[in-house]
Structure 1
Amino acid sequence: MGDCDLAAHAAGDVFVVFSRLRRRVKALAVEGDLTPAQASVLARLDKEGPASASDLAVAERVRPQSMAKIVMTMELAGLVERNPDPTDGRRQLVTLTEQGRERRIGDRLAREQWLARTLREHCTDDQLRAVIEVMGLLDDVTHA
């Protein structure tokens, strides 16, 4: 197998495995779990900061009416709050609350603990070191 074929094979394997892992991690139930849409909005707000509901709807590829319901539910749960946009008083920005940030961290921690436990059950120490090394290589590729 040539270098190009080898790289294409590796790329295909990475995409398949990451897709499976992503689906599996997202499917994990956490007590009082959020809907996938709510979890996605929490993650987006945590990574990108405050956004209008219409911007969230576009980013999440849902109808504005659907996003309005998602935001309202999350606001009632204390996970987000709406505040006037400092640059445009007619718009409201959805902001992650401290409770929302803690929830996001808690959900992520539960999923990381599941993955660590699963890796421990299925891998030797040498295999775990190989996973760590490969993740470092893939991280380098994302910064290239």
Structure 2
Amino acid sequence: MSPQSRHHPPTPRPTAADAPDARLLTEAVTHLRRALRASIRTEYPWETLPMAQVELLQVLAEHSPARVGDIAARQRLAVSTVSGLISQMISAGLVARAVDPRDRRASAVTLTDAGRGQLAAWAQAHERRLSEALESLDADDRSAVRAALPALLRIADLLDPGSPS
């Protein structure tokens, strides 16, 4: 029997008792993000922004105007990828490209009112869904989530080299 034809049973998923914390946290974050995104699309079909565009809107909400190269560096993406996303978002009216006020030879991207509105609606829909889910937990679970939030935010800061921490 060749090595390729051997059947190996699936590796059992680790339990909370034997899985490293990092693996469990990765699974939880991945599952939460996927579940939230799917539930939003089911209950709010108007919410069609790809996550990459949402993340660019979030960056521009915090740092606008911004050059495409600066956005790419902040998001750790290729300039061509960001440029393509920006072009799609310009067509959708979510962002605008104009002359960079700091360097008239360059262009910068800004968030439009429509982009701000779309980002606000996206955030409100997600907060509403998370609020509903949190309300369905018992008091001990809600307290555990609340107690974990500061540490989770610190982890996010530690993982983000652009964070002011």
Give the structure with higher Rg (CA): 2
Q: Distance in 1 between matches of 2:139 and 2:111?
A: 39
Pairwise CA distance, 1:96: 0.9
**SS at 2:93's partner residue?**
coil
User: Residue type matched to 2:143 in 1?
Assistant: R
Pairwise CA distance, 1:117: 1.5
Q: Which of 28, 43, 49 is the matching residue for 2:58?
A: 43
Pairwise CA distance, 1:132: 0.7
Q: Distance in 2 between matches of 1:136 and 1:60?
A: 25
Matches within 5 A, 1:110-125: 110-121=125-136, 123-125=137-139
Over 3 Å counting, the alpha-carbon distance change for 1:35 and 1:85 in structure 2 is: same
Partner of 1:91: 106
Q: Distance in 2 between matches of 1:32 and 1:13?
A: 29
For the aligned residues, what is the CA RMSD? 2.8
TM-score normalised per structure 1: 0.74
Q: Which has a greater percent of helix?
A: 1
In the alignment, structure 1 segments of 5+ residues that lack a partner are: 1-5
Q: Distance in 2 between matches of 1:73 and 1:139?
A: 31
Q: Distance in 2 between matches of 1:74 and 1:50?
A: 15
Q: Which of 24, 36, 47 is the matching residue for 2:35?
A: 24
In the alignment, structure 2 segments of 5+ residues that lack a partner are: 1-16, 159-164
Are 1:74 and 2:85 counterparts?
A: no
**Number of matched pairs:** 136
Pairwise CA distance, 1:129: 1.6
Over 3 Å counting, the alpha-carbon distance change for 1:47 and 1:24 in structure 2 is: farther
Over 3 Å counting, the alpha-carbon distance change for 1:18 and 1:129 in structure 2 is: same
Deviations 1:76-135 (A, max 9, x none): 3321111211222121100112221121111011012112212333x1122212211122
Runs (4+) of structure 1 exceeding 4 A deviation are 140-144
Partner of 1:13: 24
Percent identity of paired positions between Structure 1 and Structure 2: 29
Over 3 Å counting, the alpha-carbon distance change for 1:128 and 1:80 in structure 2 is: same
Are 1:136 and 2:150 counterparts?
A: yes
